[in-house]
Amino acid sequence: MRRRLSIVWSKTAYLFASAAVGGIPGNSKGPTIPAKGYLVQHIDGGLYWLVANVYQVMFLVSNEGVIVVDAPPYNIGDYYLKAISEVTNKVVTHVVYSHDHLDHIGSSGIFPKNATYIAHKLVADSLSAAKAMATNVSLVPPIPTRTFTKNLLLTVGNQTLQLAYHGDGHSPGNIFIYAPKQKVLMLVDVIFPGWLPFVQLAYASDVLGFIKDHDIVLKYDFKTFIGGHTTRLGTRKDVLVQKQYISDLTSAARQALDKIPFTLPISLRPWKQYTDYLNAVTETCTKIMLRKNWAKKLHGIIFLNGHCDKMIQNIRIVPRLALT
């Protein structure tokens, strides 16, 4: 089981690396990662950013202990405690889960067993169900001991985080994590500063919610954005750029569907006819997007075709997108 999970996490890193073939444009590059394998930087007011490979997290040092957000197993889980020890001798007292995906919280068991684990109730329910079915329960991240459904104000000593759930987008229970004093916002697997979103719009479970998340992000008073992936921090401009990308993608998908009308299968190989039709629509969408020069604006154009496919499928069959 552990080997299978390692393969999945390695594949994620490989896909990001593949997207970087041909050189990374300046607006997509992050700081150089030291030879030790990770970079920890102070952002403001005791809030730190930790990045390794293609994952990133944040943690806050308070006068009563450390609040950490997420613990990816690849590779941050290997470096997390060491990175914290470089900036403070305080112990981890609170662990916040952004959502339930194992590539972001799979190493959360490294923290003290008496720490308070916090997440949306949907995340706690998901992990509890996974634990009940697991063949090796040691691989299941600690079940949250404090949950909420809408909002939670977390205060630990002199540090505060505002946790909020605005509905399904990337995944059920994926929360907005905001540090008001430092004006730092973290939302994982939605905004990818300088890059196109990951495969299939980062596997968004609700594409309309994923689209709306961009507007919700912009309602926050933030200076720094942490998206959970790639190797650089984000800004409001990055959110606006990706919002425009998603707007263009939605328009291109609709144009492609209008340009290539669907006809009922009449052959003895209907699945092939469906496949040929969908491939043609996706190819048309991709060509429209390339004409808008997105390959020069954001890195990771290798994912564009999959984005068109995801958007087209949702516009075809999801009422909230198909009928608007």
Q: How confident is the model at residue 6, as a pLDDT?
A: 45
Residue positions counted in the chain:
324
Q: What is the DSSP letter of 195?
A: B
Rounded CA separation 178/160 (Å): 9
Cβ contacts of 40-46, under 8 Å, gap ≥ 24: 40/83, 40/86, 40/87, 42/87, 43/182, 43/184, 43/224, 43/233, 44/182, 44/183, 44/184, 44/224, 45/179, 45/181, 45/182, 46/158, 46/159, 46/182
Structure tokens belonging to residue 264: 């009922």
Structure tokens belonging to residue 268: 């003895």
Rounded CA separation 178/175 (Å): 10
Q: Which helix (H) or strand (E) holds 238?
A: helix 236-259
| Angle (deg, nearest 10), helices 304-317 and 236-259 | 60
188 in Cβ contact with 291 (< 8 Å): no
Q: At residue 286, what is the residue type?
A: T
Q: How confident is the model at residue 25, as a pLDDT?
A: 63
Q: How confident is the model at residue 305, as a pLDDT?
A: 97
Torsion angle (degrees, nearest 10) of CA 144, 178, 36, 93: -40
Residues of the chain under the 50 pLDDT cut: 1-22
Q: How confident is the model at residue 315, as a pLDDT?
A: 96
Rounded CA separation 70/195 (Å): 21
Summarised one tens digit per residue, pLDDT across range 33-62 is 999 999 999 999 999 999 998 899 999 999
Summarised one tens digit per residue, pLDDT across range 146-201 is 999 999 999 999 999 999 999 999 999 999 999 999 999 999 999 999 999 999 99
Burial class (CB in 10 A: 0-12, 13-18, 19+), 313: middle
Q: How confident is the model at residue 23, as a pLDDT?
A: 55
Place of tokens 């059920």: 172
Q: How confident is the model at residue 265, as a pLDDT?
A: 65
CA–centroid distance for 289 within its chain: 23
Domain locations in the chain as residue ranges: 31-189+222-233, 247-317
153 in Cβ contact with 164 (< 8 Å): no
Residues 6+ apart with CB under 8 A from 269: none
Q: How confident is the model at residue 210, as a pLDDT?
A: 98
Q: How confident is the model at residue 293, as a pLDDT?
A: 94
CA–centroid distance for 155 within its chain: 25
Rounded CA separation 222/180 (Å): 8
Domain 31-189+222-233 has CATH 3.60.15.10: yes
